[in-house]
Each structure stands twice: as structure tokens, then as C-alpha cells.
Amino acid sequence: MNELQATTQDLVHRFGQYEIRSILGMGGMGMVYGAYQPSLKREVAIKVLSNPATASADSAERFRREAEMAARLEHPHIVPVYDSGTTGVGVHYVVMRYLPGGSLNDRLEAHRKGEAPLPSLTEVSTLLRQMASALDYAHKRGVIHRDIKPNNIMFDEIGNAYLVDFGIAKALTDAATAGGSMTKTGAFVGTPPYMPPELWRGEDWSAASDQYALGIVLYEMLTGKLPFDAGTIYELINQHLTLAPRPPHYVREELPEALTPVIERSLNKDQSARYPSVGALADAFQTAITEANLTRSGAPSGFFALPALPPPSKLAPNTGLGLLVPDTVTQVDAPRITGYQPPPAPKRSLWPLLVGLLAVLVMGGLGVLAVNSGGEAQSLAATLTGFYQADPFSASNLTATATTCLAVSGPNSAPAGQIAFLSDRTGLSKIYLMNADSTDLQQISSGESNEDYLVWSPSGLRLAYTATESGTSDLYVLSSTLDDPTTFGMMRLTENNFQDTTPAWSPDGRNLVYSSNLNGNWDIFVIDALVPGSEPTALISHPAEDINPVWSPDGTQIAFASNRDGNQDIYLVPVAGGVPRQVTDMLSDEGNLIAWSPDGRYLTFTSEQSSRDWDLYAIDTQAENALINLTNTPDVSEWFPIWSPDSLQLGYLSNQRDEADVVVQSITNGGRHSITARLESAPEYAYDWSADSRYLVYQSGSTDTADLYLTDVCGSLIEQLTDDPGYDSSPAWRPALGG
């Protein structure tokens, strides 16, 4: 192929023999362009590796593998590859069939907006059969896709479905035959809502993993909803690992109950218990709808009747093609938001600026400046040696830790305060409140839907959460008073047909920042949480997916995650509005677990950066985004840090025992120890600190039932707080009232 040509003098932008006519979107690793091939008079799609001039060797190799794998998979329902290669100036490309019918995700989005019905059961069966045929074909040739999702199922002009984007596909023999980084980076890949539980357990993908992801897509086509949907990546992982999907006929009453065992088997937590092939799943689904004998199961629904995309139109001669041109970087700035005033500076309290963050179960922070018992401040870097010390699960460490810990923390007093948590003991997931000694248990929420994502305000008088009363997630607040802190009034903050989720309190407890797809994309909004009927204000409005906002401790900035540069990175935007500033630029996604340090200087997060395991990182926002690696235990994932309210201890999760345990790291003496290793049960995922930093509450159980336990910071005390057949989860320790 000739060198890339893209000049303002050309009548058209050319890429060798192809005329570039439009930008179709962004794929897993690069831009996708609509083009025309004059020699064969056909429309094509050209995928080009993002930022080819600076692409890593791994990125280039993955891109080459995608082209190679897709080209050798010749199947009626796998997108055909026409050409691939690398130009003389280093631009990696692959030329594929142009699919004008859009994606399955386009149709599901149209349904969510009320513009299209869901498909009939026969239409679902037809699409399932096509995808099953494509996947079984690939699996028999030693290739697993590893990113099955609605965006990767596309249609031609007459509605035939095609599997696309083999950007992270993996040959089944790679683990045994290939070396180098390509075998080290494949553990946590894919799209979280569709990723199987074995991946979260640190196992590798298999053909059964592709079946699980397709089972998620199947559930979504049947109900219009995901079987596992949470406001945080932490709770999403927990659901994939522990919860059975809600039966489809509970979501849509007209669906036959016979579909439930089909869904449950395809989404079984155990790979070996799923169907022997994806084709077997398709057969079982067809059998279920045939036996149900629904008269309208095959009636055309109109779901697939969306108009096809028009052929790509020619670009103007002076259009910048950005990623097509080597050494060129195109920066897209979000518009400045006006009309929103930042909140007043937060009042200093006994534990200033921290409580609003610690109330969120999965969002803690690595404190850059932690005050030790002598009153001295020590830098974050000085604590690193503590993370690389001896095994926190060793018998000698577990025995010696209690004495050392008690010598520092002093004797235990009775745990104080209250704990909110979720429980489905009555059928729906509702909010409960109890004293820290498990007395005075009461249900404090009502309604006809499941509730999720509990986050206390800094004062401890208000509890924000999400609920799906109208079929989509909206924001609610339960409010109490200092005079009567156990009686709550409910206020609904949002009510629309879109998803409002991941609320976080401002440090002064006045506003909530959250993520919503209200404008068609996932954007960041701010709303007054104290005034009924308040209108939300868009802080970020951008075509990319902007999610998981977290308020800075001084109330002036919002950190959030965005995939606007291809990977999910962390950005900062002023609360007053403005252009976001990118603060991370790593090879993997790192925007799901954002947390500020107490002084607001550092952003901490979890990332799978250097190996197949998760480690803790911090970014110094005042030192040109300097990256600090906080944990790096070989073959062990460590994640979900939560700082104690006194800033002297860091809790996080570790799977060193092949299941999640809570580990506490001391900032003052450098020691770390497991506080849950003595509990021989299921993994411990959800946990939170007491307001006085002396206790932790955590969730432990099986896939069917879970209870809450209390332990002291030394791990010498374990008390079971709840004991019922329901699933008790997501404990949130109430901050000190009026703080």
C-alpha cells in the first residue's frame, strides 16, 4: 500500500487506494473510518491504531493479532477482513466490511429512550443462533473473543448480525506457547458488565467465558436491562461473583418462566456448569420458547427496523483526520459549563474533609500527609516500605499482630454509632439501620424496587442512595435530625427515564455529584440535595463516557473517569466548570476506583498495569501527575482502599488466600495484617470503618446468603452482627452525628 496521503490540497483524503469519507467511531484500540474503495466500487471500514507514532509494542502487537485472527475466521456472521498491514510511516491498519445497520447497542439504546420495542422471542433466538454459530466456529479454531457485548454485534443493511472487534481476542494455546507481555496482560480485559466471575477471580478466559458474556447480552435483549447493574465497579464485581440473575419474568411479566433455567445455566458462576457450547445455549433457548407456545413469540417487533446508516459522505478537503496522520494528536475540549456556582468552602470539623469520601464503601484514599501519634506529618512515599513487608497472612504475623496493634491502638471500647446496610430478606433489596452492637434493627426505606449505593453525608444526618422505582435508577435521600436521628423522611431528587447513579456528597453536605446518561451519553451532573425539585446542572457534557465522579476535599474540583482517549483515564474539572485536565495516561483502565487523599493532593486508584494482578497507585496532582506504585505483590491482587477516618490506617482487599480478605496497613509503624484471615468462610468484599477508626464492619457469605461481621482494627475480635437467610451487604458506618 502507498504512503498515507492526507493534505488540504487533495480533493479527497486518501489512505492508499481508499478514500476516507467519515469518522465512524472509536474501537477497542483505534479510530474507525468509513471509506470507499474505487477499484471494487464498495464501501469499507478502516480501523487504524490510535496514536501510531507513540503506540507501545504491546498495542501494535495486539492490533496485528486482531487483524490476523479476524482474517482467518471466515464465517457468515464474523465481519470479513479485506486487507491489513502497516504503512511505511508506521500506521497500522485493517480494512473490513462496512456494516451500515449499526450495532445491537444502538437498538437497545433506542429502546431505553422509548423509541423502539424489545425484540420478539423468535427474533432473539435468531440473533442468538447467529452469534452462537460464529463463536462456536471461532472456539473450534482456538480463538476466544473476550469482549462480547452489544457494541460488538453489528448489522448489515438487511439485518444480518456480525461479530466484530477481535482486538482482545486470544488464542487458546497462547498461555502455553507464547511468551512476553502478551501472556501477562490478558487477565482483566473486556467490558465489566459482561465479564464473567472467573475473570474477577484471577482465572483466564475460556470458551465458556464468551458464553457467559453472550448470556448477559441475551438477558439484556429479553428485559432491556442488565442482570447485574451497580453504581460502583466494586458492587458490580460482587454481584457477578455472588448473585444469581433476577428471573427475566420478574422484570417483564410476559416472558415465560421456562427462560429462567436457560439464563441461569449460561450465567452459572462455575464455568464447567454452563452449556457445553454456545450452540447448546441457543438450542436450549429455542426449546424453551417452543415449549412455552407463545402465540406472539414470532411476531415482528420493529426492534430491528431502525433505518440503516447512510453511506459515508465525503469529508471536506481541510478536515483534520487526527489519528490517521502520524505524530498528530487531536485534543477535544469539553465545553465550559456556566450557570453553576461552587459551594461555599467546607467547615473544618474534627475529621475535616474526609467523611464525605469515607462514606462511599469502595472509595477511599491513600493519604499523602498522615499525622502520626507524635503529630509529625510523613509523606506518602515514606509509607511504601510497609506495603512490601512480610506476608500479612502468615501464622506468626497473625499471632504477633494483635499484641503490636493493641499496644498502638489501646484497649477496645464498645463500638459506637450505627451501621446502614442493604438486605433482601423481604424479597427486595432495602435499606436497614442498626446499632454497631446489632441492636435496634429497623428498615428505613420503603418502595417497590431494589435500592443500592448507600452514601452518608458528612454530618451523618442524610443518606443518599439509588432506587429503580420507575424502571431506571434515580437518586433519593433519607433525612433525619439531631433530635431524632432514627426517624427518616424520604426525598426523591431525580425522576426520568435514564440512569442516575454513583452519587457523591460535596464536603459541605449540600450537593451531590453523580453520573447520568440523561443527555444520551454518560455525563457528570451536580444537584442540590437539600431542596426538593432542584434541577440538575451538567458539569461535563462530552460524547465520551464520563463516570464515577468524586468531589475533592476542598470542594473546588471533581475527579472522574473518561474513555475519551481510548482507555479509561482519570480527569479533573473545576466545580465552576471548564476544560477537564487529564491526570493519568496508562495502558489499562484506572477510572473505576477514584479516591482523593485527605489533603486533596493525591488521587488514588486501582489498575492492572504491570501484570495480570490489580495493584494500588497514586497520582500526585501537584507534581505533573507523578505516578506512585503503592502495592506490587507478585500473583496477588490488592484493591479497594479505604482510609480510616483518623488517616493513620489504610484498609484494602487482597486475594492472597485465593479469596478476598480485608488487610489493614498502619502508616505509623509500617506493619500490615489481615483482619479477616481467621474467618474461614466466603470472601469478604464490602467493608467500612467506624467513625473512631477502631473497628471495621464487613460482609461475608455465600452466593445465596451473606451476613455482616464486626472486627476490631487488630483482627483479634470477630462478632457476627446479622444472621438471616437474606443477603446482607454494602455496610456503611454512619459518621459521627453533626460532624
- The type of residue at 601 is R
Q: What are the Cα distances from residue 479, in Å, to 108, 462, 509, 603? A: 36, 4, 12, 30
Interacting residues of 664 by C-beta distance below 8 A, sequence separation 6+: 649, 650, 651, 672, 673, 674, 675, 696, 713, 715
- How far apart CA 604 and CA 581 sit, in angstroms, is 16
What is the per-residue DSSP string for 341-396?
A: PPPPPPPP-SSTTTHHHHTSTT-----SSEE-TTS-EE-GGGGHHHHTSS-TTSHH
d(CA 280, CA 289): 15
Q: Residue 598 to residues 236, 399, 624, 648: CA-CA distances in angstroms?
A: 26, 32, 19, 11
Q: Alpha helices, DSSP H only, in 592-704?
A: none
Report DSSP letters for 205-274, one per residue.
P-HHHHHHHHHHHHHHHHHSS-SS--SSHHHHHHHHHHPPPPPHHHHSTTS-TTHHHHHHHHT-SSGGGS
Tell me which residue has cell 415449549.
Answer: 291
Q: What is the largest CA-CA distance in the chain?
A: 82
Question: The sheet that has 581-582: what strands, in order across it?
Answer: 546-551, 557-562, 569-574, 581-582
Residue the block writes with cell 419474568: 249
- To 5 degrees, how large is the angle CA 216–CA 147–CA 243? 35
What would the grid cell of residue 168 be? 482482545
Other C-beta atoms closer than 10 Å to the C-beta of 357 total: 26
CB of 162 closer than 8 Å to CB of 174: no
Catalytic residue (choose from 136, 147, 210, 712): 147
Contact 548, 230 (CB under 8 A): no
- Of 199, 137, 140, 128, the closest CA to residue 168 belongs to 199
Compute the residue count for the chain: 739
Task: Give the C-alpha separation, 710 to 721, whole Å.
Answer: 7
3-state helix, strand, coil in the chain (%, to 5): 20, 30, 50
* Cβ-proximal residues to 130 (8 Å cutoff; 6+ apart), any chain: 77, 160, 161
Q: Is 147 a catalytic residue?
A: yes
Cβ atoms of residues 337 and 539 within 8 Å: yes
Residues 224 and 255 sit within 8 Å (Cβ to Cβ): no
Query: Which is it for the CA torsion 24, 25, 28, 32, positive or negative?
Result: positive
* Contacts with 119 (C-beta within 8 Å, 6 or more apart), sequence order: 127, 221, 301, 303, 304
- Closest residue by Cα to residue 456 from 417, 500, 416, 428: 417
Between the CA of residue 173 and those of 143, 177, 178, 185, 518, what are the distances in Å?
9, 6, 8, 15, 44
H, E, C per residue of 535-547: CCEEEECCCCCEE
Task: Say how many C-beta atoms besides its own lie within 10 A of residue 494's C-beta.
Answer: 24
Annotated catalytic residues are: 147
